[in-house]
Amino acid sequence: MELELTQSSELSLNSSPCNNSTTFDDASKDQIHPYHFDHVSNAIHERRLRRMISNRESARRSRLRKKKQIEELQMQVNQLRGANNNLSEKLIGLLESNQQILQENVQLKEKVSSLQVIVSDLLAPFRNVEEVACILKSEASNRSVQ
């Protein structure tokens, strides 16, 4: 959007608040020339218009930057949500796997315990044989010493 200066937007001597419809005589020669007043007014008006255009353009650029930042942040939010969902699914899978492993570990410990009882029962007669053998050896050694 561009603003252009037109002659209708320029201030004229007739519409100026300084003009009270008097004619210029020798006393008015010391006052600012009307052309100078119009020129200064136009220059001020042009500066204001340029500043207004510049401010609007700056605001437009700021809005565009902000929009771009928001879009980038939204993309980042979407990516992080996706990563979060993937990690959540992975965590659930690992927790389920851990639970299965813990149950299997309990079962294996129970098997180990029952196998230890079986082995102990199987070795019991041999312990008795060893005890008897030790007793016999000690008796034999006692006889030979006598």
User: Which of 3-12, 81-90, 98-107, 113-122 comes out lowest in average pLDDT?
Assistant: 3-12
CA geometry: angle 16, 25, 35, nearest 5 deg? 40
pLDDT digits 0-9 by tens, 107-118? 999 999 999 999
The answer to whether the beta carbons of residues 65 and 46 sit under 8 Å apart is: no
Residue at token pair 């813990």: 102
Distance CA(130)–CA(135), nearest Å, equals 8
Confidence label for 32 from pLDDT (cuts 50, 70 and 90): low
Q: How far apart are CA 37 and CA 13, in angstroms?
A: 8
Spatial separation of the C-alpha atoms in residues 3 and 6, rounded to whole Å: 9
Check pLDDT > 60 for residue 22: no
Mean pLDDT of the chain, nearest integer: 80
Q: Are 5 and 39 in contact (CB under 8 A)?
A: no
What is the rounded CA–CA span in Å between residue 119 and residue 30? Answer: 129
pLDDT 10s digits, 41-94 = 888 999 999 999 999 999 999 999 999 999 999 999 999 999 999 999 999 999
State both tokens at 26: 């020798």
Across 8-26, average pLDDT: 43
Start-to-end CA span in the chain (Å) = 131
Enumerate residues 6+ apart whose C-beta is below 8 A from 52: 3
